[in-house]
Amino acid sequence: MTTVFRKLLYLELVCLVFLLFSGRVKAAKKNVTIGKCCALDEILTYEQKCIKSYNSSWNLNVFYNGSLTPYKGKLPPKWVLKENFQPKCAKPVIDALSNRRFVPNMLGVALLVEYDQKITPSQYCIDYNYSLFCPNNSPDGEPSVLVKKCCGTDWIYSEREAKCISWKNSSYNIEVGPNTNLGIGFPICTGTNQVVAGKINQGQVLPNGTLWMNSSGVSIPAGNFCLEFILEQLDESASIITCQNYLPPVILPTSDEHDGLKFTIYPIGLAISAIFLAATLAAGSLLPASHHVLHWRCQTNYVACLLVGYVLLCITQVVGTTLTYSPCFII
């Protein structure tokens, strides 16, 4: 019995050691090596240079369990940093982490939202403020230029609803030329609004991704515009959406004193006419003997319509350009 007991104990110890060892191996396999663009006490600048910094901390969003999980002051537990690692490609792209256009998951695979691509840890590095990555090349092996479709595949933009809506129609495709990657996303406008600058057939995308507007002679830098079909302006050419500050200022014509006097007299004359029209209706209502006469009825309806029209015209003249879309449409 003692011998049997010792054998069982020996087998249990062997199994325990095997389980512990296999668990460590599995845990080791779960670790993901992520490149840090600079050393731990350095930060990466937008010019892709490393400078000393001792007060930096992580602020990263990682895709986990179907949503973005923020990691502030730390990184995911299974991530192992490799210092001074930068991806090798002809034109690496740098982007601020705060833009949330570079989204890694727990396994280290990163989604490039604008490029609509997934890349592995060997194709990127992260730092405290920026990510540096190499998008997948075009079919001929050359680095592709990013041109963004505002709403992505099978979606178009609605100005009235101010959002992207589903639109599955194969006839509305955007062709931006060779060696160009069609990404997703709107331009990020700081301190200004997004505006429609025209149609893509009024301009051309240059080899470096810059958009040249033929009509106005304006060039919009790469990444600061997107192309999209607009529901209210559907035709064969996509529209250009960019930030207001990239377009020349619109100079409104100034009205002279004659125009100011004219638009002052108009509402006064309309108001006086409306008063006399109302007086005409009131006088007619005081003569009941003529109410059954056809001529009186026609005159009453005619005067009432003129009164309503004059009042509405007077309102539009007084309010002017401050009148919003809905009241203006109703009037």
Residues with Cβ within 8 Å of 9's Cβ and at least 6 positions away in sequence, in order, are none
146 sits in which H/E element: strand 145-149
Residues 6+ apart with CB under 8 A from 87: 35, 122, 123, 124, 125, 132, 133, 134
Q: How confident is the model at residue 3 (pLDDT cuts 50, 70, 90)?
A: low
- Homologous superfamily (CATH) of 27-133 is Methuselah ectodomain, domain 2 (2.170.180.11)
Provide the pLDDT for residue 145. Answer: 76
C-alpha R_g of the chain: 34
Q: What is the pLDDT of residues 141-163, one digit of tens each?
A: 455 677 888 888 888 899 888 88
Which residue, 130, 42, 62, 118, is CA-closest to 93?
130
Q: Establish whether domains 27-133 and 145-246 are of one fold.
A: yes
In 3D space, the residue among 85, 80, 75, 79 whose CA is nearest the CA of residue 44 turns out to be: 85
The highest-level CATH class for domain 145-246 is mainly beta
When pLDDT is cut at 50, 70 and 90, the band that residue 304 belongs to is: confident
Q: Which of 149, 136, 139 is nearest to 179 (CA)?
A: 139
Per-residue pLDDT of 200-213, as tens digits, reads 888 888 887 888 88
> Could you tell me the pLDDT band of residue 104, with boundaries at 50, 70 and 90?
very high
**CB-hemisphere CA count at 13 Å for 14?**
6
9 pLDDT higher than 50: no
Instruction: State the Cα–Cα distance between residues 214 and 198, nearest whole angstrom.
Output: 10
Domain ranges of the chain: 27-133, 145-246, 257-330
Helix 257-285 vs helix 294-319: angle between axes, to the nearest 10 degrees?
150
